[in-house]
A = this chain, B = another copy of it.
Amino acid sequence: MIPGPFLLYLGHSDDPVAIKTSRGLAEFRRVDCIGEFRHDDCPLTLGLPRMGMDEAAAAGARTLVLGIASAGGRLGPDLVADAAAALESGMNVAAGLHERLRKESRLVALAAERGLQLFDVRDPPEDLSVGKGYPRAGRRLLTVGTDCSVGKMYSTLALTRALQARGVAADFRATGQTGILIAGEGVPVDAVVSDFISGAIERLAPARDDNGWDLIEGQGSLFHPSFAGVSLGLLHGAQPEALVLCDEPGRAHMRGIPGRPTPGLADTLERNLEAARVTSPQVRAVGICLNTSKLDRDEALRLCARTEDELGLPCTDPVAFGVEAIIDRLLCVEPSTPATIASR
């Protein structure tokens, strides 16, 4: 477990998408976040007190979280210098970048000298095995998407909290760096050796018999030419009873692939249901989450209503309108009842 409270790193970022890990912690573990660290050229804020390294350590911060996405996941000289400063101030350092903290000898030496720790959140477990797809007990929901970064993590967390608020046992199962930092555990599925994708998820959400739910954070999209393999292995390993489809309307192209249009909602859902049946024959779709942050409220409401009508599933923006309608749908159908959009 990574010791809190946290100092959240924004660095020199001027791209709101690039600070999504820091923002996720500020949003979902605010009570554990003591402040934010940013350089003078950073125009962004999470609304936390701005602090220097020494100041944060003095205020009780125990770990600096490098919660940003750098170009290519690199740990450049800026980041190393700031991480070193954090260690010198007496804080641990956590990061989820492709380049690992433990590969930087300067940081390793400093941490050893001060008795501090480096946390590479993207390190997968070492003893993974291949998935088997054998039916396992428990109720599982997976978020799937038209694309990367459309709100799957946010939706999964919102659904988890809504279930818990109704007194239903529910656990968020993290598959990406931000989710893992929020949950304190999880599997960074994109860093797993490809033979073990589904096996990693079978281990992340093992059989359970308390009638509670595992809500598994999806990744990528079956239609994304970079990451569809991860998405499919995750889907098979999750063996989900329920799918929630996530989308950001109005996106000009698939993330990172200029010129490639995003797929339609109905196609995405149908392809995911079809693929999910390999390990979960009774899988059903229970709702749609749209990230409507770029629309005004009336437009967003109209879009949700129209989508609901077109696909016959509750549709909401979890940030703006909550997820209660999806929870109603999720809980009102017995797990053994097949109900897909195809069979409507």
Residues of A within 8 A of B (CB): 130-134, 189-195, 197-199, 222-223, 225-234, 236-237, 256-257, 259-260, 271, 274-275, 278-279
Contacts and interface: CB of A to CB of B under 8 A. Distances in A.
In the A-B complex, the 4 residue pairs with the smallest Cβ-Cβ separation, listed nearest first, are A133-B225, A229-B233, A197-B229, A130-B226
A51 B199 CA distance: 40
Contacts of A232: 222, 228-229, 232
B194 A226 contact: no
Contacts of A199: 226
A117 to B, nearest CB: 24
Contact of A190 (B193, B198, B274): B193
Contact of A191 (B195, B223, B233): B195
Given A131-B225, A228-B198, A191 B191 contact: no
A257 B133 CA distance: 8
B257 A132 contact: yes
A230 B279 CA distance: 16
Given A130-B227, A132-B256, A225-B236, 10 more contacts: A133-B225, A133-B226, A133-B260, A194-B229, A195-B226, A195-B230, A225-B279, A229-B229, A229-B230, A229-B234
A67 B60 CA distance: 57
Number of copies: 2
Most buried by B among A132, A199, A227: A227
A130 to B, nearest CB: 4
A104 to B, nearest CB: 17
11 contacts: A131-B226, A133-B225, A192-B193, A194-B194, A195-B230, A197-B229, A198-B226, A228-B232, A228-B236, A229-B233, A232-B232
A198 B222 CA distance: 12
Contacts of A231: 229
Contact of A193 (B134, B193, B274): B193
A227 B278 CA distance: 12
Contacts of A192: 193-194
A337 to B, nearest CB: 23
Nearest to A199: B226
B233 A278 contact: no
A192 B191 CA distance: 9
A233 B131 contact: no
A3 to B, nearest CB: 28
Contact of A194 (B133, B190, B271): B190
Nearest to A233: B229
Nearest to A254: B133
A275 B274 CA distance: 12
